[in-house]
Amino acid sequence: MNYDFVSIEKKWQDKWFKDNTFKAVDFHPTKPKYYILYEFPNVSGGNLHMGHMKGTIPADALARYKRLNGFNVLFPIGGDAFGLPAENAAIKKGTDPHEFVRDGMKRFEEQFKKLGMSFDYDRTICTSDPEYYKWTQWIFLQLLKHGKAYKQRGVVNFCPNCQTVLSNEDSQGGKCDRCGGDVVQKERNVWFLKMRDYCEQMLGNIDRIDMAESLKEAQRNWIGKSEGMQVSFDVVDENNKKLGTFDIFTTCIETIYGITFMVLAPENKLVDNLKNNIKNFKDVLAYRKKTALRSEFDRLSDQKEKTGCVLEGLFAINPVNGKKVTIYVADFVLAGYGSGAVMAVPSHDQRDFEFAKAFDIPMVQVIEGDCSKHAVEKKEYLEKNYKMLNSAEFTGLDVKTAKKKIAEKVISLGVGKKTTNYKMQDWSFNRQRYWGEPFPVVFCDHCGIVPLDEADLPLILPETKDYLPNKNGDSPISKITDFVNCKCPKCGRDAKRETDTMPNWAGSSWYWLRYCDPHNDKALADFDKLKYWGSVDCYTGGTEHITRHVLYAFFWQNFLYDIGAVPTRDPFLRKMGSGLILDDTGKKMSKSSTNGVSPMEVIDKYGVDAARLHVHFLGGYEDNTPWTYDGITGITTFLDRVWALQDMVKGDEISKEHIFELNRLIKKVGEDYENLKLNTIISALMIFIKKVRDDGFITKQELRDFLLLLNPLAPHITSEIYERVFHAEILDDSWPKYDEKYLVEDVIQIPVQVNGKLAKVVSIKRDLNQDEVLEYLRQNYPKLTEGFEVKKLIYIPNKIINIIK
RNA sequence: GCGGAUGUGGCGAAAUGGCAGACGCGCAGGCUUCAGGUGCCUGUGGUGGCAACACUGUGAGAGUUCGACCCUCUCCAUCCGCACCA
């Protein structure tokens, strides 16, 4: 007899939705809090895809499990709606973004309902709602007020296709994150957030969070902490007249006697400052222009051919030995890292080596090793602790000692100091696009950049039909003159508004805080509520944008903590990245690919309980799993058998036939929910149901416990059976307890090995001592010990016996 | 190039120092059924054997251990992230 999943599932979903059954209670008087967050979906798609099944279901199961265990669970949802992804999708569809987002949010809600998600729908937020982005703007004002936001001309990533500036995070590998096109470098006036100030704090967050090591490493790499020295070099002309100085950063101070040239990034300011002394300044400008347009193709090309341009007429003086060397500009030196300049030691750095070969520059070897084919780099010379050469008083010392002594010398000469460098840059924070949070600032000829009064927030995004990106890379908002022209809040004279908008990451960098108090119009959230809900206990979601998103989250949370707006530095205690669902070619199943199977299709065919179980029976939460319908019959058979339990009820209390299995099951399933190991929960439940069917009956109490164990994963069918059998609501019941005394049986089966090889499995009383075991074996299994002397008996009580002969 | 992870039957996968392959799919055989792309039962890593059983087996090779999928070292393969970061 099959159960009618269509009507049963709808019945419960309607009820949960209508009653908002899963409402979280602020300041619950007795229950402990538990905060589960699922990464809110981006409204760009408007439809849930298989990837969402991987992330939502475990979060929902954990939420339901925790509620049954007496927790006051906060499990909210919302939509990430501002920014390029939604705007590009809206443009493609030819809809106004406002309307596009409204539709998308509605569709998400319907689909989440169909998934049986136990969200608190009263707390739903959307980042493009003025009530929400009021507080995104408020946070920006605080950043500005505390010197963590600044506007500056700088060389930044620009996507010619999307017509906007992008952050480093949004242009990884030289490709636009949204359209995949090549990103070029452009000089522009840009808002930056001082994320670099938070490198150490963020590294602390990474250490404290419970998250996969690979994700932690990706984030540490992105921050890119590196310890070394900053050293000052004088710049002179042919006649040794001092023209200025510049700093370099190095992690290999021990090679300083090997410098044969210096290299600046093409954009380095020194080039502009000394342009009158550079004889070939025209060539330098031409080189600059060329490198700015270098595309992805050039950068990835295998040759990695070194290009550059000498600065004729300028020389640098090595502070340790007074040696005069040539200066170049070259694009292998990055303007944004360190001070945008390096000392070049071709014998001991492979890039310098290649550059020296290309430009025919001499080399000086200062550490042992064979430098004829390639540089002997620090990995090799430090590991082998080679001796120093050609390094004045340090010649003959081993490298490790020399490194310390040379550093001391540089410091005592007053030309250097120990420093720490980070790869991470400040966050370029504006986009020349329509669909985003307007910046709450105006530009006044008299007062400069003037922030709006907090009382005037939100600054509403003006409506317009002309929202397509501009060809010249200006924001379309610049055309809305009655928005742009305004009065300066400070002096009252005519002023203009900022017309760029914030990036899509703005709204998602603090949204977990808003869920604690989503309707507050006095603060981003009430401080006591933030304190009550605290850090997110478990945060699930995809891994696609995890490095960026989590770092941005750490950054904002730390900033808000420092200004006293939130009670903790750690937004999340545990972050789980769900694996991908792969299609039949082993590639990521994407929403756009034609072979993508929609979750709604699976739900319509098999029911949502079956779909929920199937996706997570396929493999572990953090593993990639290939999608297939194969095996779903195993799940539907299981659910049919669960349904059939109603007709097998006999007796009330737990039977002696099932007491051990049931207690073990309760223990195992509970542990597996905590660790989100849903696949083994399902198999454990299958094993139990097989036992029940073999015995031909289940008691009422056993059925009750079984339904509770399955409820977090398959909430509909279990709610229905519970109601039919017990005439009550399963959600009013609580998680079954197990008793330790039923986890162990008096007579156990344990393996006996001879010389480490399995010989026999024997039945034996629990908790015998070693002598008793040997005696027992001699009595009952004489063959195991006959014919040889037992040299040694290894007996791990109740686990294994190993006889050594 | 650097970093991280993974590697187990025909397939998805269990087992984190103690009986490898649980559970599910698939496959084979059987029972039920008017019928079945239904339900139920049995078997199923490989090799040999009618069989009980024997040997063998977790990417490859070494090591630690009474005992290794699990710990250590070397290598190979695949996937992911970063990539001229001084």
A305 has a pLDDT exceeding 60: yes
Q: How far is CA A599 from the centre of its chain?
A: 24
A486 has a pLDDT exceeding 50: yes
| Residue A587, nucleotide of least CA–C1' distance | B79
- What is the predicted pLDDT for the residue at A783? 76
For residues A503-522, average pLDDT: 97
For residues A147-152, average pLDDT: 96
Measured from the CB, is A626 under 7 Å from any atom of strand B? yes
For residues A747-755, average pLDDT: 85
- What is the predicted pLDDT for the residue at A73? 98
Tell me: the pLDDT tens digits for A334-368? 888 999 999 999 999 999 999 999 999 999 999 99
Measured from the CB, is A218 under 7 Å from any atom of strand B? yes
- What is the predicted pLDDT for the residue at A584? 66
- What is the predicted pLDDT for the residue at A590? 59
Rounded mean pLDDT of chain A? 92
Q: pTM for this one?
A: 0.94
For residues A752 and A782, is the Cβ–Cβ distance under 8 A?
no
| Residue A255, nucleotide of least CA–C1' distance | B86
- What is the predicted pLDDT for the residue at A745? 79
Measured from the CB, is A333 under 7 Å from any atom of strand B? yes
Q: How many Å apart are A622 CA and B4 C1'?
A: 14
A655 has a pLDDT exceeding 80: yes
A45 has a pLDDT exceeding 80: no
- What is the predicted pLDDT for the residue at A594? 46
Distances (CA, A) of A642 to A16, A638, A657, A685: 22, 6, 19, 10
For residues A43-60, average pLDDT: 89
Measured from the CB, is A421 under 7 Å from any atom of strand B? yes
A300 has a pLDDT exceeding 50: no
For residues A744-748, average pLDDT: 82
- What is the predicted pLDDT for the residue at A591? 53
Tell me: the pLDDT tens digits for A687-700? 999 999 999 999 99
A3 falls in which pLDDT band (50, 70, 90)? Answer: confident
Nearest to A411 by CA among A316, A320, A318: A320
The percentage of chain A sitting over the pLDDT mark of 70, rounded to a whole number, equals 97
Exposure of A127 in the CB half-sphere (CA atoms within 13 A): 29
A296 falls in which pLDDT band (50, 70, 90)? Answer: very low
Structure tokens at A373: 């084919």
Nearest to A185 by CA among A304, A297, A296, A330: A296
Q: What does the angle CA A231 – CA A236 – CA A241 come to, to the nearest 5 degrees?
A: 130
A88 or A143, greater pLDDT: A143
Q: How many Å apart are A695 CA and B9 C1'?
A: 31
- What is the predicted pLDDT for the residue at A164? 87
- What is the predicted pLDDT for the residue at A1? 46
Pick the range with the lowest mean pLDDT from A40-44, A127-131, A303-307, A380-384: A303-307
For residues A217-231, average pLDDT: 94
Task: Say how far apart CA A642 and CA A703 lie, in whole Å.
Answer: 9
Task: Say how far apart CA A79 and CA A511 lie, in whole Å.
Answer: 10
For residues A170-178, average pLDDT: 80
Tell me: the pLDDT tens digits for A614-646? 999 999 999 888 888 889 999 999 999 999 999
Strands (E), A33-99: 33-38, 72-74, 78-79
Tell me: the pLDDT tens digits for A406-437? 999 999 999 999 999 999 999 999 999 999 99
- What is the predicted pLDDT for the residue at A304? 66
- What is the predicted pLDDT for the residue at A457? 93
Measured from the CB, is A172 under 7 Å from any atom of strand B? yes
For residues A195-219, average pLDDT: 94
Ramachandran region, residue A182 (left: φ > 0; alpha: ψ -120 to 50; beta: rest): beta
- What is the predicted pLDDT for the residue at A162? 86
Decide if the complex's ipTM is over 0.85.
yes
For residues A189 and A151, is the Cβ–Cβ distance under 8 A?
yes
Q: Is A754 helix (H, G, I), strand (E, B) or coil?
A: strand
Q: How many Å apart are A636 CA and B29 C1'?
A: 24
- What is the predicted pLDDT for the residue at A316? 97
Measured from the CB, is A648 under 7 Å from any atom of strand B? no
* Nucleotides of B strand lying within 7 Å of any protein CB atom: 3-5, 11-15, 18-20, 22-26, 38-41, 66-68, 79-86
Task: Say how far apart CA A555 and CA A167 lie, in whole Å.
Answer: 15
Pick the range with the lowest mean pLDDT from A340-354, A377-391, A765-779: A765-779
- What is the predicted pLDDT for the residue at A368? 92
